[in-house]
Structure 1
Amino acid sequence: MPDEIMITLLGKPGCHLCDDARAVIERVAGDLDVGWEERDITRSERDTEQYWEQIPVTLINGVQHDFWRVDEGRLRAAIAELR
């Protein structure tokens, strides 16, 4: 069982789907008391190449969980499974 769970949102400025994903992630992270961070893919050539067509992308502990839209129930279930 991991000591800490971290959700990462990969997005870019001006992305309305990223705004929607951020709201869901903030809510879930707050409710479940887990950490979260946001990473701008335009700051990394590697991230831009890998994720440009999929943003927003959600990672849980560095593993891709979702892309395009964040399903709140699915995110909660994935975190519960890690616990």
Structure 2
Amino acid sequence: MRVPEAAGRARVVVLTRQGCHLCEVAEQTVAAVAAETGDTWTTVDVDADPELKARYTDEVPVTFVDGRQHDFWRVDPARLRAALGA
């Protein structure tokens, strides 16, 4: 998977969509962990990119760390902290 150029240099990217409750929860979790670790993060709207939508529509939210898929549906804070520390 390619992380969209719009994601810039953020360490954590969350693929989201509007109206997605799990996405809101994932964003809150990522924001809290990133605030602790000092890492950067961003979101990308999966519906804005046909390729991403085709690949990930049933898995949203999808979390990437350093350009690699980390998780989908839910974000475990401890697991995310460990990935950012690696």
What TM-score, normalized to structure 2? 0.87
Q: Offset of 1:58 from its aligned partner?
A: 0.2
Classify the secondary structure of the residue corresponding to 1:29. Answer: helix
Is 2:54 aligned against 1:46? no
Match of 2:30 among 15, 22, 25: 25
Quote the Cα distance in structure 1 between the aligned partners of 2:38 and 2:11: 10
1:57 paired to 2:62: yes
How many corresponding residue pairs?
78
CA distance in 1, matches of 2:10, 2:46: 21
Q: What does the per-residue CA deviation read over 1:10-64, in whole Å, with 9 as the maximum and x for residues that have no partner? A: 0100000000000000001111000001000010000100110100000001100
Aligned equivalent of 2:6:
none
Letter in 1 for 2:74: R
Structure 2 spans left out of the alignment, 5+ residues: 1-8
Identity %: 37
Provide the alpha-carbon RMSD of the alignment: 1.2
| TM-score normalised by structure 1 residue count | 0.90
Going from structure 1 to structure 2, the CA distance change for 1:12 and 1:31 (only over 3 Å counts) comes to same
Letter of the 1:79 counterpart: L
